[in-house]
A and B are shown apart, each in its own frame.
Chain A
Amino acid sequence: MSTEQIGVGGGVFDAPLQIGDRTLRSRLILGTGGFRRLETLAEAIRATRAELVTVALRRIDPSARGSLVDVLEECGVELLPNTAGCYTARDAVVTARLAREAFATDWVKLEVIGDERTLLPDAPELLLAAEELVGDGFTVLPYTNDDPILARRLEDVGCAAVMPLGSPIGSGMGIRNPYNIALIVERASVPVILDAGVGTASDAALAMELGCDGVLCASAIARAEDPVAMAHAIRAAVEAGRLARGAGRIPRRLYAEASSPSEGMADITPPTE
């Protein structure tokens, strides 16, 4: 955990999320992939109150309608370019440098995947790319496995945050290994952003209850039947989970513990004849 716990009491307050040199009031980062219309994307951005959104870099499509960059600028959000689709450290590094040229930002969501079917990160290539990009002055936010040791290695090479998956990208399977996410949180001294796997609001709330500093979410919002309504729901869930984490949950126990006093019970047994 990189930021102080929230306080609740007279007024609810929260420390902003600090990643690298940037201070974010919103703990929800929005992925822009999957929205069918740019108008819906813009509405979803407003609903999430996200300040940082991801973009991909692809071949120019002369038939594309509307400018994504213009829409995002109108929304007043900062861009977090990704290296989605890269299978090697070399490709990811070149893509990050192209993105720096295109968007004038040295921030990158580093993705190096190992397999088309699962889109799971390729750990050795990811670590290589992270190290090289950090050395090149990038603020690196790696999309990583839910592996506490790999998260530590990424932090050690200078990543500004670690972004473990809850489950595979776009799977909507939620957080498959909450214990590993908790272990990553416990050890990390950079922000932990739950990335990938969120299917609905409760998954985002769980991520925050486990102590994540933020959530990155794309498909769960973009591909929902009503993306704007889901954007509201997930924004509220991130806030609720954050509050619950700060509030300190009760321990789990096997047996019941009465919440009404056992002392002072009325004697209402009928008299024996």
Chain B
Amino acid sequence: MIVVNGEPRERDGATIAELLADLGVEERARGVAVAVNGEIVPRAEWVRQRVDAGDRVEALSAMQGG
């Protein structure tokens, strides 16, 4: 079990790119950043890096804000 944006998911072993696809985000989408357990995962690693049980994934994008 991992946690993506605060929600538990049965996606152990998935790549970052696969997790983003779950959220409807294409791999080449602009304005997206990912952190796993508070560490930034560079875009180039998204297709390679896999998550392990217990990982906390934050998948972020641009929102309106001052």
Interface residues of chain A, those whose CB is within 8 Å of chain B, are 31-35, 41, 54-62, 67-69, 72-73, 79, 81-82, 84, 94, 97-99, 101-103, 169-170, 196, 216, 218-219
- B38/A69 in contact, CB under 8 A: no
- Are the C-beta atoms of A57 and B40 separated by less than 8 Å? no
| Min distance, Cβ B63 to any Cβ of chain A, angstroms | 4
Q: Which residues of B are found within 8 Å of A57, using beta-carbon distances? A: 33, 60-63
Q: How far is the CA of A54 from the CA of B38 in the complex (A)?
A: 24
Judged by a CB distance under 8 angstroms, whether B25 is at the interface is yes
Set A31, A60, A61, A216: member contacting B32, Cβ < 8 A: A60
Bound complex: CA A196 to CA B65 (Å) = 13
How many angstroms from the CA of A196 to the CA of B66 in the assembled complex?
A: 9
A residues less than 8 Å from B61 (CB atoms): 57-58, 60-61, 69, 102
Query: How many angstroms between the C-alpha atoms of A218 and B65 in the bound complex?
Result: 8
- Interface SS of chain A: helix, strand, loop or mixed? mixed
Interface centre among A41, A59, A62 (most CB of B within 10 A): A59
Contact assessment for B59 and A33 in the assembled complex, using a CB-CB cutoff below 8 Å: no
For the A-B complex, the count of residue pairs with Cβ-Cβ distances under 8 Å equals: 96
Interface centre among B31, B61, B66 (most CB of A within 10 A): B66
Task: List the B residue with the shortest CB-CB distance to A36.
Answer: B64
Is there an interface contact between B66 and A62, defined as CB atoms closer than 8 Å? no
Nearest residue (CB) in A for B30 is: A69
Chain B residues whose C-beta falls within 8 Å of the C-beta of A60 in the assembled complex: 5, 20, 23, 25, 32, 59-61
* Chain A residues within an 8 Å CB radius of B58: 59
With an 8 A cutoff between CB atoms, is B43 at the interface?
A: yes
